[in-house]
Homo-oligomer: A and B are copies of this chain.
Amino acid sequence: MIVVMDHHAGDGEIEHVLERLKKIGFKTHLSQGIERTIIGAVGDRNILCDVNLESMPGVEKVVPILQPYKLASRTFQEENTIIKVGDLEIGGDTLHVMAGPCAVESREQLIQAARSVRDAGGAILRGGAFKPRTSPYSFQGLAEEGLKFLAEAREETGLLIVTEVMDVRDVSMVAHYADILQIGARNMQNYYLLREVAGIDKPVVLKRGPSCTIEEWLMAAEYIMSGGNYNVILCERGIRSFENYTRNTLDLTAVPVVKHLSHLPVIVDPSHAIGKWRFVPPMARAAIAAGADGLIVEMHPHPEEALCDGQQSLTPRGFKLMMDDLKKIADFMGRKMP
């Protein structure tokens, strides 16, 4: 860490900072330039979170040098994390596509969706049981009944189940039904929820918050990992920018960046990022080409009748075409699809 002193900083102020750093166990190095005095400091960055160097007199700014996350970093673990769930491996050679409707609406809708997912080569069924949405007047989900339908669909099709948990009080119930839990984008920094899923033994899909940097995203993963659950699957789903033709701006570069900084698997959700079904297949293809370990996409038996997000859902036929296409690009990337 580098402490840059103000160009007016006096000797007393510099001394004060040096003492403070020594007191918390940091080794320091003083460099007095013509324009500025700079203090280099080596020690545990986590201690620094609670030391307000920037509010000390004479300090202009503090520049961190090391990454604030540890367990999630490639420095900590060189080889890729491969997460086992059922008979599948996520982050390994095989690419997995999670698909299904935004919301579980009925038993029939879900079973129909699940069959389409399975028939097209998908391995994991997605579907939301809890849908508190922007408007308090919209459909809010079937709750536990929806989870039961998901479990029935698993029985029926052999697919695994991924579903979102939104309320700390529901974590054990959701974990009872699902194979993989999802933390939604708006909850990426809901630390109470992160702590709860840190305590269960199911993998977690951690969606990137729409206004969160890659570093903050990896810090959220660190939260879960530091609580004991190492099976975190990162999911890029678009960030908020000024462009409003698409729902969000899919930051696909985050895929190779995360693979560089971290050992965790990363998947992509083009449906929520873009918000228009038409552009989902080309961007799903691009995601695989960028190195993603899998995808999560919305598919609905009858998108125009969907109670939620129909405009971004593929039809079963559109999904099948996309899957056939993806198999070829997976092959080109040296990866398999089931």
Which residues of A line the B interface, CB within 8 A?
2, 4, 7, 29, 31, 33-36, 38, 40, 42, 46, 49-50, 52, 54-57, 63, 65-66, 68, 75, 132-139, 166-169, 186-187, 189-192, 195, 209-211, 213-216, 219, 222-223, 226-227, 239-246, 249-257, 260, 273-274, 276-279, 282-283, 285-291, 303-311, 313, 328-329, 332
Contacts and interface: CB of A to CB of B under 8 A. Distances in A.
Contacts of A274: 253
Contacts of A256: 278-279, 282-283
A310 B65 CA distance: 20
Contacts of A137: 46, 49, 226
A42 B49 contact: no
Contacts of A291: 282
Nearest to A190: B190
Output the residue of A219, A285, A313 with the most chain B CB within 10 A.
A285
Contacts of A75: 7, 35
Given A166-B191, A329-B332, 11 more contacts: A2-B40, A31-B40, A35-B75, A46-B135, A46-B137, A49-B137, A55-B277, A134-B219, A135-B222, A252-B286, A285-B290
Contacts of A332: 328-329, 332
B31 A139 contact: no
A55 to B, nearest CB: 4
Output the residue of A191, A195, A244, A250 with the most chain B CB within 10 A.
A191
A216 to B, nearest CB: 6
A195 B141 CA distance: 15
Contacts of A288: 289
Contact of A305 (B52, B189, B245, B290): B52
A278 B29 CA distance: 28
A246 B242 contact: no
A282 B255 contact: yes
Contacts of A287: 286
Contact of A192 (B52, B167, B305): B167
